[in-house]
Amino acid sequence: MIIVLLQNASFLCTFVWLLQHGRRPEGKAESSGIKDNDQPIHMKEKTNKAFETLDKQHYLQTFRRFPITLAKGKGSRVWDIEGKEYIDVLAGIAVNSVGHCHPNVVKAIQEQAAKLMHISNFYVSEPQAQLAERLTELSGLNRVFFSNSGAESVEGAIKLARKYGKTQGKAGTVISMEGCFHGRTLATIATGKKAMQNGFDPIPSGFKQAKFNDFESVAHVATGDVAAIIVEPVQGEGGINVADKAFLQQLRKLCDEKDIVLIFDEIQTGIGRTGYWFAKDHYGVQPDIMTLAKGLGGGVPIGAFLSSEKIAQAIEFGDHGTTFGGNPLMCAAALAVLQTVEEENLLHAAKEKGEWLKQQFADMHEPSIVKIKGLGLMVGVEFTFETKPLVIEMMHHGVLANATAGNVLRLVPPLNISYDELQTALEAMKKSLEAVKEHA
């Protein structure tokens, strides 16, 4: 009995030490940061193939994963389980906005984890109150609700918009744009592509689509039953399609005239990705509701939707809720992300590096490049061919990127990636492009 108590006491001491310091007290990691005692006991073979097999045996097979198991990240670089290094210009799909394991974020998580992690929303927490205040200051909107993901944020935005619409006697129809992506829950796939709805009938009703960057198309379906219009200032999954300034301004005017709620989905564009805190600031257009996620947490799962006071007044106690959303641990991490973006002047960095990167692609004068597009460090390069083989070849050359919309190479690196790292990634892309063309 005494031995068991001593062992438990030893374990608790070690656990508290890890929360405070974030690593084991003994020894130093290898250059890749991977140690034998970091792996599950049952994993005898610590290889990419072994973990790929384990994943296929137990995880729901809904992702077409690349055959590498990532084990460590620092800044704009990651290492797989076998120690191979990669430059990450995908950043967890625009999530790791301040890079992997930024010291500010790590410190904030460690300190908060040792103090208070979760309390539910029956109570107020200091990090949540501070984060809500900061986001309203930055956005010019009045109210915030925290969620766990982008899809949850959009769901909440739709609920709030419909509740407001009901107060105005509207049926609750929501207009989305062709080529959009707002998530994979039932309501969010109802806004998007038909292909994503296959097999999930009955799909929720009350959704219409219009053409992106085509105001007349939107105006045509904006009948009296429409409660909201939802639009991404830059369509991410749709191929890095940038909204025209006139289009968003016309939407704002239409919504004002017909008392329609204008929702901007800034899940991918928000928190500095495009060179402003929010992409809306490129356009001088203020939405009624704005959704956030991805870069807000810098790697931890947190989402939010913000609204004007006018729209928020429609919500009553009990109309919406969440267990985990906005807990102290996630909010502490998000506050550290905002602090880092500000301290390291990453808005300016995103603008400059994004323009530099697009110019580098333009200077290639590559015949297979159709279009170079994007805002800030949200860059899309459209090719004449499907880009997944290019992305796979880039991975073999030590660069992680993404193919979207079939023929678009998507680059959304950490905002603090260095020019040297961008140049290295660009050179790897050029070599990969030649290899793909050679085998075409």
322 and 356 together in one domain: no
Q: Which of 301, 317, 343 is the last residue of a domain?
A: 343
Flag whether 13 is in a domain. Answer: no
How much is the mean pLDDT over the chain?
92
| pTM of the predicted protein model | 0.90
CATH number, residue 395: 3.90.1150.10
Arithmetic mean of pLDDT, 56-74: 97
Q: Which residue has the higher pLDDT, 43 or 294?
A: 294
Does 10 have pLDDT greater than 50?
no
What's the confidence (pLDDT) of residue 160?
A: 98
Arithmetic mean of pLDDT, 422-430: 98
SS3 of the chain: the string is CHHHHHHHHHHHHHHHHHHHHCCCCCCCCCCCCCCHHHCCCCCCCCCHHHHHHHHHHHCCCCCCCCCCCEEEEEECEEEECCCCEEEECCHHHHCCCCCECCHHHHHHHHHHHCCCCCCCCCCCCHHHHHHHHHHHHHHCCCEEEEECCHHHHHHHHHHHHHHHHHHCCCCCEEEEECCCCCCCCHHHHHCCCHHHHCCCCCCCCCEEEECCCCHHHHHHHCCCCEEEEEECCEECCCCCEECCHHHHHHHHHHHHHHCCEEEEECCCCCCCCCCCCCCHHHHCCCCCEEEECHHHCECECCEEEEECHHHHCCCCCCCCCCCCCCCHHHHHHHHHHHHHHHHCCHHHHHHHHHHHHHHHHHCCCCCCEEEEEEECCEEEEEECCCCHHHHHHHHHCCEECEEECCCEEEECCCCCCCHHHHHHHHHHHHHHHHHHHHCC
Does 6 have pLDDT greater than 50?
no
203 and 278 together in one domain: yes
Does 100 have pLDDT greater than 70?
yes
The least confident of 30-44, 98-112, 315-329, 418-432 is 30-44
What's the confidence (pLDDT) of residue 431?
A: 98
How far is the C-alpha of 112 from the C-alpha of 189, rounded, in Å? 35
Q: Which residue has the higher pLDDT, 61 or 34?
A: 61
pLDDT, one tens digit per residue, over 114-138 is 999 999 999 999 999 999 999 999 9
What's the confidence (pLDDT) of residue 197?
A: 94
pLDDT, one tens digit per residue, over 148-189 is 999 999 999 999 999 999 999 999 999 999 999 999 999 999
Flag whether 383 is in a domain. Answer: yes
193 and 63 together in one domain: no
376 and 428 together in one domain: yes
CATH number, residue 157: 3.40.640.10
Does 31 have pLDDT greater than 50?
no
366 and 383 together in one domain: yes
Residue in 280, 294, 353, 358 annotated catalytic: 294
389 and 434 together in one domain: yes
Cβ–Cβ < 8 Å for 173, 230: no
φ, ψ at 24 (rounded to 5°): -80, 145
Does 46 have pLDDT greater than 60?
yes
Does 22 have pLDDT greater than 60?
no
Residue in 51, 145, 146, 181 annotated catalytic: 181
Flag whether 10 is in a domain. Answer: no
335 and 425 together in one domain: no
373 and 291 together in one domain: no
Q: How long is the chain?
A: 440
Flag whether 59 is in a domain. Answer: yes
What's the confidence (pLDDT) of residue 43?
A: 62
The least confident of 14-18, 157-161, 295-299 is 14-18
CA distances from residue 359 to 160, 256, 263 in whole angstroms, order as listed: 41, 38, 32
Q: Which of 285, 309, 343 is the last residue of a domain?
A: 343
135 and 266 together in one domain: yes
What's the confidence (pLDDT) of residue 367?
A: 97
Flag whether 147 is in a domain. Answer: yes
Other beta carbons less than 10 A from residue 439's beta carbon? 8
Domain that residue 217 falls in: 107-343
Does 42 have pLDDT greater than 90?
no
User: Model confidence at 26, in pLDDT bands (50, 70, 90)?
Assistant: very low
Does 18 have pLDDT greater than 90?
no
What's the confidence (pLDDT) of residue 182?
A: 97
355 and 338 together in one domain: no
Flag whether 21 is in a domain. Answer: no
Flag whether 277 is in a domain. Answer: yes
337 and 422 together in one domain: no
What's the confidence (pLDDT) of residue 38?
A: 53
Q: Which of 326, 343, 360 is the last residue of a domain?
A: 343
pLDDT above 90: percentage of residues in the chain: 89
Does 4 have pLDDT greater than 50?
no
Residue in 80, 88, 265, 288 annotated catalytic: 265
User: Model confidence at 30, in pLDDT bands (50, 70, 90)?
Assistant: very low
CA distances from residue 323 to 117, 120, 154, 273, 316 in whole angstroms, order as listed: 13, 6, 17, 28, 18
Say how many domains are in the chain. Answer: 2
234 and 373 together in one domain: no
Flag whether 44 is in a domain. Answer: yes
pLDDT, one tens digit per residue, over 227-244 is 999 999 999 999 999 999
Is residue 294 annotated as part of the catalytic site, yes or no? Answer: yes
